[in-house]
Amino acid sequence: MNQKICCICLLFLLAFTSALIPRQKAPDWRAVGVIDGESKEISLEDYSGKYLVMLFYPFDFTYVCPTELIAFSEEYQKFKDLSAEVVAISVDSHFTHLAWMKTPRNQGGVGNLRYPLLSDLTKEIGESYNVLVQDKEDELFGAHLRGLFIIDGDKTIRSIQINDAPVGRSVHETLRLIEAFQYTDQHGEVCPANWKKGDKTIVPDQEKKSSYFSEVYREEL
């Protein structure tokens, strides 16, 4: 009995310690991706020096998934303007990705996306990023949750968002976060709640921060 309890505790400990958090290095990966109707091998290393958005999603030919991928594709130039790239990844094969991209959008397909769709057929990438559903009783067993990872040019994770399957993610919030992280990278100041480009920022110093707070909170509540 004691041995069984120890094994269970060890499994929980391993699960906890393997969980990714911002400021950690992103796990390396290499996968077959589809872009412009062609398949090719793509790796995390290919995006060194750039911000990268990794979009994990459950399956091709589903419901919320095509709306997300199309939305990110339609705003792709805004990511490029920030020297950022986008990849999307599911457990489907690259053949399934090709078929989905050849399916018209008015029939549930995604059409010609402007960024790669990656195949995590072995499920190793989803597992390393802690987005793989591993509960055999779950209807999404073996699929990815809606994980969104923002990774900087040094391959450091800056943001993690994981949604349950029924709700899609916001392209505009993703762009806002990249702009904010890049601003802090360049200026050393920090971005307050709901910050957007052009807004006032905070100097992370106990004395200098007062210039922000005295201007924003002019009256004591």
Provide the annotated active-site residues.
Answer: 65
Query: In this structure, what token pair is assigned to residue 218?
Result: 């002019």
Distances (CA, A) of 142 to 14, 108, 139, 184: 20, 22, 9, 37
| CB contact at 8 A, 98 and 39 | yes
Query: In this structure, what token pair is assigned to residue 162?
Result: 């994981």
Tell me the three state secondary structure of residue 213: helix
| CB contact at 8 A, 26 and 151 | yes
